[in-house]
Amino acid sequence: GTKRFSRIEYDHARGKFRKQFKFSFDIKTNDSSAGIIFFTSDKLTENFIILYMENGHLIYKVRSSKDKVGQALQSANKYNDGEWHNVVLLHNQSMQLIVDDSLQDESKPKAIGRLEVDELFMLGGVREDQEYGLEADVSKVHSFNGCIKNFNMNNKPMEKPRKFDVQPCPENLEEGNYFNTGYLLLKPRYTVGDEIDIKMDIKPRNVTGLLLTVHGKRDYLVLEMITGGIKFTVENGRGPITTTFSPERTHYLCDGHWHTIQAFKSKNVVSLSVDNKLMPSGIGDHRSKSTDTGGALFLGSHRVINKVRGITARVPFIGCIKNIQINSDPVIVAQSMRRGDVTVGQCPTN
């Protein structure tokens, strides 16, 4: 889904579902915490059926008014590999979670009573008013970041979907984060200080765009694409320190392949390498060594991209970014970091 509460709703059941049921669908994602895949409940979320993905595993839960603790199953395997997988949820005395015709987990027979859920079935997310009732059962309530198709109930296809902020699923996907005018708020406050080492893989679709930036009252750090090249700038308070990469071909970085960018700042020296080719360093005034920022760390654009100082590329980055590291620590990109049109966890390859 494109937003936090993106989903597809169906309000016509195909057969019985309050005492026994069979739901099935095909899913595909690269995101290990892809979110909610299937959900149905009563108005107070006391009775519910839910399937979601966490750390690559599928988790299937059922709770009723009679059994307030509920029952939960978890897949033995991980399924965030970018391939299609068929998932079946069974309930008839016991629960079964089946993936690709393989039984992943099964509950012991337990009388949980009649499931007083409404005749409303959701794929890929929940309504905003249902979020609070799920927080104790699901660590992060957000819409599914991936593809779902072939939704069946009791072996019959579900019909008449109502769609809320969902997009057609591209068939060709790969791991990464796709930026289409939006950005990621990596950290609400970040201080660069004396040293920083930034590394990422990019697959741009435009020759100009802002990659990463953080500002303070006076100092700043900016990594950007400009007419096919890369520019890395740091301001420590005594004038900008810059190093650049200028390819022979303007579209060298926009060739449909991944390229590795590494930007390193140590005191008053800035260095830049592109695809392991080191550029000449930029050297600034030795009397000013610390980059005293304290603002937000942005990836892909900036909240006020047309006003903030030190930026040449006044347009957002368009394309894919993955394998982001700050000081050798991998940045775990979460859905909550998204601002605007960004797809977390997967990139179209076409």
Q: What pLDDT, in 10s, does the model give residues 107-156?
A: 876 666 677 788 789 888 887 666 655 655 565 557 788 889 999 999 99
| Token code pair at residue 98 | 């089946």
How high is the pLDDT of residue 138?
A: 60
CA distances from 204 to 99, 228, 254, 278 (A): 36, 9, 5, 20
How high is the pLDDT of residue 107?
A: 82
Closest CA to 2 of 208, 210, 142, 199: 142
Mean pLDDT of the chain: 88
Q: Which residue has the higher pLDDT, 44 or 159?
A: 159
Q: Parallel, antiparallel, or unpaired: how do β-strands 269-274 and 277-278 relate? A: antiparallel
| Contact between residue 287 and residue 256 where contact means Cβ atoms under 8 Å apart | no
Rounded CA separation 252/243 (Å) = 18
Q: What is the percent of the chain where pLDDT is above 90?
A: 57
Same fold, 7-169 and 175-348: yes
How high is the pLDDT of residue 346?
A: 80
How high is the pLDDT of residue 31?
A: 77
Tens-place pLDDT, residues 55-75: 889 999 888 777 766 788 999
Tens-place pLDDT, residues 311-348: 999 999 999 999 999 999 999 888 889 999 998 888 88
Rounded CA separation 83/28 (Å) = 5
How high is the pLDDT of residue 33?
A: 74
Rounded CA separation 218/235 (Å) = 8
Whether pLDDT at 78 is above 70: yes
Q: What is the pTM of this model?
A: 0.64
pLDDT band at 171 (very low <50, low <70, confident <90, very high): low
281-302 average pLDDT score: 96
pLDDT band at 179 (very low <50, low <70, confident <90, very high): very high
CA distances from 223 to 30, 227, 229 (A): 27, 14, 11
| Contact between residue 76 and residue 91 where contact means Cβ atoms under 8 Å apart | no
Rounded CA separation 173/99 (Å) = 21
Q: Parallel, antiparallel, or unpaired: how do β-strands 229-235 and 220-226 relate? A: antiparallel
Lowest mean pLDDT among 27-41, 148-162, 164-178, 207-221: 164-178
| Contact between residue 52 and residue 40 where contact means Cβ atoms under 8 Å apart | no
CATH topology of domain 7-169: Jelly Rolls (2.60.120)
List beta partners, residue 282. 270
pLDDT band at 272 (very low <50, low <70, confident <90, very high): very high
How high is the pLDDT of residue 131?
A: 64
Q: How far, in whole angstroms, is CA 340 from its chain's centroid?
A: 12
CATH 2.60.120.200 fits 175-348, yes or no: yes
| Contact between residue 263 and residue 232 where contact means Cβ atoms under 8 Å apart | yes
Whether pLDDT at 301 is above 80: yes
* Beta strand extents in 82-125 (DSSP E only): 85-92, 94-99, 102-106, 121-123
How high is the pLDDT of residue 83?
A: 87
Tens-place pLDDT, residues 201-257: 999 999 999 999 999 999 999 999 999 999 999 999 999 999 999 999 999 999 999
Query: How many Å is the maximal CA-CA distance in the chain?
Result: 76
| Domain ranges for the chain | 7-169, 175-348
How high is the pLDDT of residue 71?
A: 83
